[in-house]
Amino acid sequence: MGVPSELLRLVDEFLMLLKESADYQRQPEVKAVLLEAMSVVAANRRRLNTAGRRYVVAVVGLSNVGKSTLLNALLGNELAPRRNGPCTAAPIEFCHGERLQVIAYSQSYTRPNWNCENVEAVHQQLSQLADDSGAEASRRIRKVEVHVTHPLLESGLVLADTPGFGAAQVGDATGGHEDALKQYLRHDVSQVFWVVLADQGIGLREKQFHEAFFAEICDDIVVTGCEEWDQHDRERFRRRFADSFGNHLPGFFHFVSGLRGLEARNSADAVGLEAAGINLLESRIRELADPMGRTAAIRHALSELADDLSFWLREYRVERGLPLEYWWRPDSWGRWKAAPACDGLREQMTASFGG
């Protein structure tokens, strides 16, 4: 299923409206807010561009927060190698395939690939790509693809395990792991699931990395290591970080145990899987596995942005407490009002802005 062309055109028109109006504005604060809104729309433009085909959902977080274990619990097999030792700096993508296969993409045009008889062979091949015996070769690997048959991946969804950021890693004195992650987030990722440890919370280093590299494409925080938490503990965790994140606080919190989830999956324990929080997380991912669901999420994000932006613009006061005389560059606003209706989305956004 392709991307709705009207929605794509509408997003492009909104980007142009924001850019031209930011250039036209005299108030520095208003210019800055319009450019900030533009960055949010640009991130959704990137999501939309991949909504009808390959949609990469990356699991991102500090080293040793349980990203690989979480992915294994979701996929139901020990596929993702645990990255708590020296491991390839490359992201590992899990995508749909008719047979088990590992493909390494390097800086060269060649793509070494290995057909695998079973999950154990996949895990062994991924482990061999670790840089404990070949650091230089590992650094040349841009990404690794694992083809696997799984219902979550059938609609073009790609789940990606990524190198940790923040803490120094063995065999990564030059920071290659983190540099590879930054490049991957900039160019390949459609959406981020951010994994954090319950007892550590979210530190300044994490917040800074989030703000710089994936704030606009992250709607979900996955909290691990919270097995003994009740609902009160979970609400307290949410409130603890709400103020410091402002408008960039992800809207979905998932409290899970990847290890217990994997154990429950392996033993076909439905009750244990539910208790580990894997079922709810999987349900959220299934929404993203549906291209129509991805498109609907983008429409909702644009509508919310219009509401938030219009509220800020109405409340802003120039010198002597006067409201803004204008928000938009006049000819740009006229072009926006003639943009595709897109099932009422343009009219809804226009009404939010008072037009």
Q: Has residue 109 got a pLDDT over 80?
A: no
Q: Has residue 226 got a pLDDT over 70?
A: yes
| Torsion angles phi and psi, residue 209, rounded to 5 | -65, -40
Domain boundaries defined on the chain: 5-50+297-352, 55-289
Structure tokens at 179: 């540099």
The angle formed by the CA atoms of residues 315, 220 and 227, to the nearest 5 degrees, is: 125
Q: What is the pLDDT of residue 44?
A: 86
For the chain, what percent of residues have pLDDT higher than 90? 42
User: Which tops the pLDDT comparison, 38 or 242?
Assistant: 38
| CA atoms of 221 and 130, how far apart (whole Å) | 28
Q: What is the pLDDT of residue 249?
A: 67
User: Which tops the pLDDT comparison, 172 or 56?
Assistant: 56
Q: What is the CATH number of domain 55-289?
A: 3.40.50.300
Q: Has residue 164 got a pLDDT over 90?
A: no
pLDDT band at residue 2 using 50, 70 and 90 as cut-offs: low
Average pLDDT over residues 347-353: 94
Give residue-wise pLDDT tens across range 235-262.
Answer: 998 888 876 676 566 778 999 998 899 8
pLDDT band at residue 171 using 50, 70 and 90 as cut-offs: very low
Structure tokens at 165: 């950021």
How far, in Å, are 93, 147, 281, 283, 294 from residue 287 at the CA level?
19, 21, 10, 7, 7
Q: Has residue 228 got a pLDDT over 90?
A: no
Q: What is the pLDDT of residue 169?
A: 46
Average pLDDT over residues 116-144: 73
Q: What is the pLDDT of residue 320?
A: 80
Q: Has residue 136 got a pLDDT over 80?
A: no
Q: What is the pLDDT of residue 132?
A: 42
Give residue-wise pLDDT tens across range 199-215.
Answer: 888 888 888 898 888 88
Question: What SS3 state is found at 253?
Answer: strand
Q: What is the pLDDT of residue 83?
A: 60
Q: What is the pLDDT of residue 238?
A: 86
Q: Please provide the average confidence, as pLDDT, over all residues in the chain.
A: 85
| CA atoms of 332 and 144, how far apart (whole Å) | 44
Q: What is the pLDDT of residue 246?
A: 63
pLDDT band at residue 138 using 50, 70 and 90 as cut-offs: very low
